Amino acid sequence: MNKLTIAVGSTRKPKISAVRDAVDGMRALLPAATEIEIVGVGVESGVNHTPLSCEESMRGARRRAESLHKIAKDERKNWNYFVGLEGGLDSVLENGERRVFLESWAFVSDGTRGHFGRSGAVELPDALAEEVFMGGTDLSVAIDKFVGEAGIRDAQGAWGVLSANQITRQEAFRVALIAAFAPFFNEKTYRTATAATQAR
């Protein structure tokens, strides 16, 4: 039986569950009877608690994965993939108006190469965007205050609150993960596209 071990740079339930959901959904792309183990390890992202740009979110996701790879080397862990997940904000100017969006990012590495994936984006209400993006309040703190509840981050997350629970934090990370895993699990397509480009 093949065994695939995926290390995730977090111990938070929505992130671990998102990895499980993403990999379970891609089982048809794996060798038959592959046993999957998911290991959660708390590592630092090296960025703000709420990243304020897509570049910062990407950097945080990559750093989590790179920290896992270092742990694997130092402790001789037989981990096949290293996963970093980061949720954050990004802003754009549209028609002269600043709009702030929540995004979820994933970075997946096999220790040699790595790829990013991103969820969709949901727009923040102006008052929430002002408090987090301009005021520097962590989104997990601001969203709890926004809805008058505690622990939103480990439940449906800001994604769930803003989308009326049509998209949870876990689901947003699942989509980002599938996109980040695509070059590995759909390698033939990526290899063919690369070969076609090089032949031009």
Domain count, the chain: 1
134: in domain: no
What is the Cα–Cα distance from 156 to 154, expressed in whole angstroms? 7
Quote the pLDDT of residue 153.
79
Domain holding 57, by residue range, is 3-125+172-194
Q: What is the CATH number of the domain that holds 116?
A: 3.90.950.10
Residue 101, in any domain of the structure: yes
Segments in 39-150 forming alpha helices (H):
54-75, 126-129, 139-147
Identify the segments of the chain with pLDDT beneath 70: 1, 193-200
Q: Answer yes or no: is 140 within a domain.
A: no
Say if 151 falls within a structural domain: no
* Residue 18: per-residue pLDDT: 96
Residue 200, domain member (yes or no): no
**Structure confidence at residue 29 (pLDDT):** 83
Task: Judge contact between 115 and 107, C-beta under 8 A.
Answer: yes
pLDDT at 154: 77
Q: Does some domain include residue 135?
A: no
Cα gap 40→8, rounded to integer Å: 5
Per-residue confidence (pLDDT) for residue 1, from 0 to 100: 61
The Cα 130–Cα 49 span in angstroms is 16
| pLDDT at residue 56, rounded to an integer | 97
pLDDT digits (tens, 9 = 90+) for 122-178: 999 999 999 998 888 999 999 988 888 888 877 788 999 999 999 999 999 999 999
